[in-house]
Amino acid sequence: MTQPEQSPLGPNDELSVRRELEDHRERLMALRASATQICESVLQINSIPFHSVKSRVKSFPSILEKIIRKKYEPHLFSCTDVVGIRVMCLYPSHVDTIVILLGQEFHVLETVDKRPQSDPERFGYNSVHLLCRFGGTERAKLPEYASFAGVTFEIQVRTILQEAWAEIQHRLVYKSSVAAPNDVKRIIALLSAHLESADMHFQDIYQKREAYVEKLKKAGTPNLEDEPLNIDSLLEILRRHYSWADGWEAVLGDHLVPRLTELLSELGSAGITTVRQLVQLIQKWSAETIAASREVYQKSLTAQDPKSPIAHYYDWQQKTNQFFTPLGHIRSALEREFPGFYEARKKDQEKEGGSRG
């Protein structure tokens, strides 16, 4: 009968690592929180679209397993990823940009590029790993970061599709081309190629959209008015015609795109499908919608409740002396141009919903 494999670490070694982890846990949790916040701030300040920033402090069993597997010295910080942070962006081109920016925030001890071009035998694992410390930067001199000096942590940077593959691969039995039989190897290679291709397609879409938005910004009014209405052309028109409403997009936050999509649907059902048609609508009713919005705002001053659904609008409303965002101004213009428009639209939607039921 085969005897179970004995751990190369003695009970005193395991106890020592456990005690180290407990002794340093508070410091490690604080480092994790600070490093995560810095990563998120870097992405936001540099306007890099990202999915999320995740972080964790490695559990004792995971630390012990790695020390044994890698034949490390039985000490907590022989593991360089006790604190791990994962930055998940949307597009491949931003991975290297993020790596450069993080290098300006932390002292990077080592960069390990695990993307396919650096290791073609990997089954699609795409990621750049940074071993970092707070030391060696201006930030490290600040009192709140002094306790982190000398502690190495890992930051992984990858796209969201690369993250999806990593999560699936983590649960696969076959983690290398040597371990997999040929029929499985072909399937995995095909899936890896599809994911890499999808990442490149998303990158291409992103770049085309960026170029289109830049073209809209530079376009003179006559050329812009030839454009069909879509989210980007609608946003450009709203920014030009409601320049006084600076900050309204931030007020809507994550609701911005759904609200713009909804407005495009409303405009389309009213037969307004080009920038020129929308500009004509805005210009025709501009004075009336601004006056109406100001009047509603003045009436709302006595009824404002910090717990109400519109509480987050208050600062913006006070600054602009307006109740409606530009989206509300367009809707106000639509109702004036087509009296009863929203009531009729609601009835149509209810009728359509009833027919589906």
264: nearest Cα among 330, 183, 194:
330
pLDDT band at 118 (very low <50, low <70, confident <90, very high): very low
pLDDT of the residue at 178: 63
Whole-number pLDDT of residue 1: 43
| 204 within 8 A of 253, measured Cβ to Cβ | no
Query: Mean per-residue pLDDT for 226-241?
Result: 96
Distance CA 334, CA 91 (A): 38
Question: In angstroms, rounded to a whole number, what is the distance separating the alpha carbons of residues 55 and 36?
Answer: 7
pLDDT of residue 72: 92
Gyration radius of the chain's alpha carbons: 28
Taking the C-alpha atoms of residue 22 and residue 28, their distance in angstroms, rounded to an integer, is 10
Tell me if 75 sits within 8 A of 20, measured CB to CB.
Answer: yes
CA–CA separation, 284 and 288 (whole Å): 9
* Domain residue ranges of the chain, discontinuous segments joined by +: 11-197, 220-349
Q: Is the pTM of this model over 0.85?
A: no
pLDDT the model gives residue 195:
85
More confident residue, 57 or 302: 57
pLDDT in tens, 321-340: 999 999 999 999 999 999 99
For 11-197, CATH gives 3.30.460.10
Among 174-178, 196-200, 216-220, 221-225, where is mean pLDDT lowest?
174-178
227 pLDDT band (50/70/90 cuts)? Answer: very high
Name the least confident of 41-45, 46-50, 278-282, 309-313. 309-313
- For residues 248 and 326, the answer to whether their CB atoms sit within 8 Å is yes
Per-residue CA distances from 234 to 125, 273, 276, 293, 335 (Å): 39, 10, 11, 20, 18
Is the pLDDT at 254 greater than 70, yes or no?
yes
The C-alpha angle 112, 42, 24, rounded to 5 degrees, equals 65
Tally Cβ neighbours within 10 Å of residue 313: 21
- Looking at the predicted structure, is the pLDDT value of residue 312 above 70? no
Please give the C-alpha separations between residue 261 and each of 146, 242, 268, in angstroms, as whole numbers: 48, 19, 11
- List all residues 6 or more positions away from 141 whose beta carbon is below 8 Å from its beta carbon: none
| pLDDT confidence bin for 260, thresholds 50/70/90 | very high
Q: Which tens digits make up the pLDDT trace of 11-70?
A: 788 999 999 999 999 999 999 999 999 999 999 999 999 999 999 999 999 999 999 999
Q: In terms of DSSP bridges, do strands 83-89 and 153-159 run parallel, antiparallel, or are they unpaired?
A: parallel
pLDDT in tens, 174-204: 555 566 787 877 787 788 788 888 999 999 9
